[in-house]
Structure 1
Amino acid sequence: MQGWEPSTVVSDELVDPTPVAALAALFDDGVPAPGPGSELPPLWHWAALARWPVSSVLGGDGHPVRGSFLPPVGLPRRMFAGGEVVFHGPLRVGETVRRQSTVESVTEKSGRSGRLVWPYATRVEGYPGLVVHGPLMTLALAETLRLEGRPERVTRIAHRNNRPLFCGQRARLLGRRTADGFALDLTGPEGATTGPHTTLTATAR
């Protein structure tokens, strides 16, 4: 990463109703799609505030070429391993918000399968099949909170993707109440014997 320096990118963004409606249609869980003025459900900003880079800056994996905002790490696999989101207040569909993105640090780690579109997943990344989108598994867990109709407001979410799930595999979503919120697990076809594929803990008040 010689010569690369972290930078901050600031932009004003519309909480776009169109991808919000598309995500609601994907879930198809009987809950009305959030419309203009409605509060955005937890983590739905991933869809509502998606970035659309021009084709000339994309790499072979469909992501922007590394070396500008992201560091020039020459590894074939990208994994949405996890993170933490703090909700300081509600985002509403149709409003304009300011986005500030910063890479604070870069640490090399090793995952279970080594150092961290179909042919790309199988021929380049070496997976046995098409990988289910990691953020989608996390969003599915967060959506269970909305389906429960809980009156509490989610103020913090910590999430972790432990290993990939492949298209065509069955998954099960499990949840339990904790002292300050909720703990949710997504397990694959092996069940709970091998541990969850994705975990999410939510603090609510």
Structure 2
Amino acid sequence: MTTHLDPQTLAHLQTWQGRSETLEDLITPAPLRALSATLDRDDPLPAAGTELPALWHWLYFLPHHRQSEIGPDGHAKRGGFLPPVPLPRRMWAGGRLQWHAPLRVGDALKRVSTIQSVTHKSGRTGDLLFVLVKHEVHNADGLCLTEEHDIVYRPAAQPGDPMPAPVAAASMVGQGAPLVQSGGNSELWQRDIAPDDVLLFRYSALTFNGHRIHYDRTYVTDVEGYPGLIVHGPLIATLLVDLVRRHTNRPIQRFEFKALRPTFECGDQRILRVNGQPQADGNQVRLWAQDHEGWLTMQATAELG
């Protein structure tokens, strides 16, 4: 089982820097209806011209690998556009997005993706490889969205591996310059979600994500060594943005998020809590997610238009 990358392998992987691919897709309404239901929203039915909420473009440009091309973890076998990193764990670590113009139902889209960097670091449990991918999404009128996507590859878990110290989510309250209402109480948005296996399955189906860590409890516990099904990082980011939408109609122009700790499904009635705190400038919202033990699992910032 690979835990270290030799210099020759690393040099080969770094030849992927600068590689690019272009995909095309059409924004259709059916995935929007399905995600709205999955997020427990009562949205009007989308029609031609309906604007996509922030992050809902992740329902498009989906991977369509043939079944014979799928690896044992449910992901496509390594290689192709992304480098064939031999480390077994692959995770969406975070990203940064900027919207230049709305995406709407009926738009024909083109996405140009480029591997910006392939960076090696040594971690406590072995080598880490970080791949930065830049996506640029265009419609007929030009560039609509720029997205930087952070992917991290790491070794499989081993007994006795050191674990980073968790951070209490409560420490996030009041950081920065929160908006102060009359009476001296800072505004705090919160919503609790039960991330059960049905929610995870529906999101996997919507994003055509075959990664077994999100729906195969035997695989994720026996092979990858986790205590339960893992909640998708993009789903948590989407729930953070959805929290903003539940409190303001202002559009999100920029969004940045970082995954800090895995969140596991609620086989024992676990709860995922998403939090938001508007800042004093009126244009930013600090966001974070916490698990059932109160540990910080994701932090983010949304800049409003």
TM-score (norm 1): 0.89
2:186 is aligned with 1:175: no
Q: Give how far 1:129 is off.
A: 1.0
Preserved contact between residue 16 and residue 48 of structure 1 (Cα < 8 Å)? no
Q: Give how far 1:52 is off.
A: 2.2
The residue number in structure 1 matching 2:111 is 99
Preserved contact between residue 24 and residue 61 of structure 2 (Cα < 8 Å)? no
Structure 2: gaps (5+ residues): 1-8, 129-153, 155-211
Which structure: greater strand fraction?
2
The residue number in structure 2 matching 1:197 is 297
Separation in 1, partners of 2:33, 2:122: 37
Match of 1:67 among 76, 79, 87: 79
Alignment deviations for residues 155-186 of structure 1 (CA, whole Å, 9 cap, x no partner): 11001111111110211111111233111111
Sort the Cα spacing of 1:112 and 1:133 in 2 relative to 1 into closer, same or farther, 3 A.
farther
Separation in 2, partners of 1:109, 1:21: 41
How many residues of Structure 1 are paired with residues of Structure 2 in the alignment?
Answer: 201
For the residue of structure 2 that corresponds to 1:105, the secondary structure is: strand
For the residue of structure 2 that corresponds to 1:103, the secondary structure is: strand
The residue number in structure 2 matching 1:133 is 232
- Greater RCO structure (CA 8 Å; 6+ sep): 1
Separation in 2, partners of 1:71, 1:166: 28
The residue number in structure 1 matching 2:260 is 162
Alignment deviations for residues 20-43 of structure 1 (CA, whole Å, 9 cap, x no partner): 211111011223353331000000
Sort the Cα spacing of 1:25 and 1:113 in 2 relative to 1 into closer, same or farther, 3 A.
farther
Rg larger in structure = 2
Q: Percent of counterpart pairs with the same letter?
A: 40
Separation in 2, partners of 1:120, 1:109: 28
TM-score (norm 2): 0.61
Match of 2:288 among 185, 188, 193: 185
Structure 1: gaps (5+ residues): none
Preserved contact between residue 15 and residue 49 of structure 1 (Cα < 8 Å)? no
Separation in 1, partners of 2:38, 2:277: 25
Q: Give how far 1:92 is off.
A: 0.5
Separation in 1, partners of 2:272, 2:260: 14
Sort the Cα spacing of 1:111 and 1:203 in 2 relative to 1 into closer, same or farther, 3 A.
farther
